[in-house]
Chains A and B, each alone.
Chain A
């Protein structure tokens, strides 16, 4: 009996990670767009002068020519000329300036 309970508990712990995936699966099943569900970042580039990143965690580096932003999917690096943060709130950040690169895994 004791063994059985332990096994059950272990199973419960182990199933924590797949349960999140289950949520995403459900979202896909019901055709809920990925940006509505969960906290994955959404990057919107408008023209060349503006990049909007939603669902970010924080900025890691802010320089004139490079801004690195931490997200749940990894770090996004925006490089360009004369970069500035047009607006920053807890949900979104708008980067302005002459953008030349948007890099993931940087």
Chain B
């Protein structure tokens, strides 16, 4: 019944009062002519109120004439009349059109990109591949061909076996599967030598295949052949055989760094002054709202603030870049302090240079002086590491 009422409301109807001596005849004629009437209620002996559709009301005139009744409209109800009233309001119409336009526009954009991937380090590369295709947040869904993008991602990002791209509403969902790298196969019939990766003193040798040319305790230079892939038999008549040399050569290696000692030290200190630059973010776009920092030397910290009511992250937000002023101060050091600073610097630089697989065994700090009286600090780090490097034999 509710649906019927709703339908009537949408189509529009009128409440009419019919007056006349022969109401029954009027109702019968209407019924016969397919004019739908409902909610007919007697008011008094001469009149009744009833509801009729708009179409029915238009066809009612002959019936009224025939039965000698008069028809008055008591009330007009329904959507068509409401819209008629609103027709004169220009702003309403413009707003309605604007709403429809914005709705269509908003639903035809990509608002969010979701990447499902078990290796987080791949995500930026996938995003780069998308950017190369000019796809980002805010681009139109229309020009996007999911199959094409998926193939582009697989082509441009290494280490992917498969990529699936799907547009779910206003969200671009990308699912990727990483490929598993095949292990490096060692073919026994290829001739490979083991050479030294860097200078060192050999402390331990484990040779699985090949002919060892050096011994434990030998000092080797970088590039020197340690294990040869050519096996020579003791009886020269049997000739030689080429193998793929395999082995672990652990050696002691040294790394050194020399830093001049300076009695003047530049100290960087944050002052209490800071400046905030605010950007308005919309999707991937940025709009600067306030000015640049008034400092020459500064450190920055960037913070994204998103509008997220009810836990839903909106693509609109602010980026606040805070600039902290830094003051450089020259400090005079005593000799001991200067040496300490120099050693610390040398050590820090050296640590960055060390290979990953080495184990630090010892550290030696030496003080040297050149002819002009300038003091240098030398830091030597002694490590133990595997220096075996496989090189295809050329001879």
Partner of A88, one of B23, B31, B41, B42: B31
B-side contacts of A64, CB under 8 Å = 42
Decide if B40 is an interface residue (CB 8 Å cutoff): yes
Within 8 Å by CB of A84, from B24, B31, B36, B41, lies B41
Note all chain B residues with C-beta closer than 8 A to A59: 24, 27-28
A71-96 CB mask vs B (1 if < 8 Å, else 0) is 00000000000011111111001000
Which residues in B have their C-beta under 8 angstroms from that of A58?
A: 24, 28, 31-32
B292 → chain A, closest Cβ, in Å?
76
Contacts of A85 in B (CB 8 A): 27, 37-40, 50
B42 touches A90 (CB 8 A): no
A90 touches B39 (CB 8 A): no
Assembled-state Cα–Cα distance A88/B38 (Å)? 6
| Residue in chain A with minimal CB distance to B25 | A58
Given the interface pairs A88-B31, A89-B31, A90-B31, the reply to whether A60 lies near B38 with Cβ below 8 Å is: no
The minimal Cβ–Cβ distance linking B14 to chain A, given in whole angstroms, is 16
- Pair B36/A62 contact, Cβ less than 8 Å: no
- Bound complex: CA of A89 vs CA of B42, how far in Å? 18
Which A16-38 residues have C-beta < 8 A from chain B?
none
B79 lies within 8 A of chain A by Cβ: no
Does A61 count as interface, using CB distance less than 8 angstroms?
Answer: yes
Contact across chains for B37 and A87 when beta carbons are under 8 A apart: yes
B115 to chain A, nearest CB (A): 60
A61 to B27, CA, bound (A): 11
A-B contact pairs, 30 of them (CB 8 A): A58-B32, A60-B24, A62-B23, A62-B27, A62-B40, A62-B48, A63-B42, A64-B42, A83-B42, A84-B40, A84-B41, A85-B27, A85-B38, A85-B39, A85-B50, A86-B38, A86-B39, A86-B40, A87-B36, A87-B37, A87-B38, A87-B39, A88-B30, A88-B36, A88-B38, A89-B34, A90-B31, A90-B32, A90-B34, A93-B31
Query: Sorted from nearest, which 4 A-B pairs have the closest CB atoms?
Result: A85-B40, A58-B28, A87-B38, A84-B41
